[in-house]
């Protein structure tokens, strides 16, 4: 029963984390397009709160519940092919993307953004591709 509760909380944490990973770069798009000080200040506040109070805790919770799940039965995850190794590699990349978003939040707050809204539109696609690959690895377990 513990396993199912952990799995449920892991999934909820991942959903919350990805919600932030999808929305924050979209805020960057709008922030990069903003021209007045009031809008820029509002975007800075929204970005900081989303990153610090939703994305950060959700990422930590997803990692804790994921590690806890693995620790309950490591052979179930690592004894059946390399899909889990590939998934964890993508999770590490996702954590790096998360921290890149945090660095960008700080750049916007300092008024140092030098990228266009077009860059952020492409940047926003990275977590979509990672989510697609991770879900396929977990559900299909192709190797």
Residue set of the binding site for heme: 10, 87
Distance in angstroms (rounded) separating the CA atoms of residues 3 and 117? 43
Residues placed in the known binding site: 10, 87
Q: What is Dmax (Cα atoms) for the chain?
A: 56
Q: Which two tokens stand for residue 126?
A: 């990275």
Give just the sign of the alpha carbon dihedral 18, 20, 23, 28: negative
């Amino acid at each position: 029963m513990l396993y199912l509760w952990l799995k449920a909380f892991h999934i909820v944490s991942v959903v919350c984390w990805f919600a932030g990973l999808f929305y924050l770069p979209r805020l960057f798009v709008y922030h990069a397009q903003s021209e007045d000080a009031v809008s820029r200040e509002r975007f800075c506040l929204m970005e900081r709160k989303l990153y610090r109070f939703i994305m950060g805790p959700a990422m930590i919770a997803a990692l804790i519940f994921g590690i806890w799940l693995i620790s309950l039965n490591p052979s179930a995850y690592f004894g059946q092919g390399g899909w889990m190794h590939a998934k964890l590699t993508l999770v590490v990349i996702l954590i790096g993307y998360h921290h890149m978003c945090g660095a960008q939040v700080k750049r916007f707050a300092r008024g140092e953004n030098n990228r266009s809204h077009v860059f952020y539109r492409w940047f926003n696609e990275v977590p979509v591709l990672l989510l697609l690959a991770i879900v396929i690895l977990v559900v299909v377990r192709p190797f």
